[in-house]
Amino acid sequence: MKRERYPTRKIRLVGVTQLLNLQLLLSKLPLDPDRPLVVTIAEEVKSRKLDQNALMWVGPLKDISEQVFMKGRSYSDKVWHEYFKTEFLPESFDPELTKENYIKWSHYPDGDKILTGSTTDLTVKGFALYLEQVYAFGAGQGVEFSGARI
């Protein structure tokens, strides 16, 4: 007899109640040698903070968009943001830098590459590293950064 597809479950262990729920769940897991379940226990990955993101827009992206001229023109903060994602987002999943299932690039049906990675896919550490690279780029272009530092 085929069993139904087992739904993915996540339990954040923050107290005794969650631990008891996990123990109950474990005792009721189906054993199936043909379609075994996989149980993974890991530390929760902290996503980048909203204040990090907000400061990025009023800090380095604003400063770079106002001060950097390339190929005879300036670019908006949105264009710089997209450019930096292509340049500085990690190329592949890294549990210290990105959330689970992170993918930087996907492909259109014709095979052309498209950026699908986002700064929302970064952990706190990953976002801090990303911003270091943005600041380094700006400094290399002679940007004088405003007081809005991250």
Residue extents of the structural domains in the chain = 50-140
How many Cα neighbours within 13 Å face the side chain of 149?
A: 5
pLDDT bucket at 41, cuts 50 / 70 / 90 = confident
Superfamily of domain 50-140: NinB (1.10.3790.10)
What is the model's pLDDT at position 122?
93
What is the model's pLDDT at position 12?
82
> Rounded mean pLDDT of 86-97?
95
- H or E element that contains 149: none
Residue 94 has pLDDT above 90, yes or no: yes
Whether the predicted model's global pTM rises above the 0.95 cut: no
**Where do we find the tokens 């999943």?**
93
> Rounded mean pLDDT of 100-121?
94
pLDDT bucket at 42, cuts 50 / 70 / 90 = confident
What is the model's pLDDT at position 148?
53
> Do residues 141 and 66 make contact, with C-beta atoms less than 8 angstroms apart?
no
Amino acid at 38: V
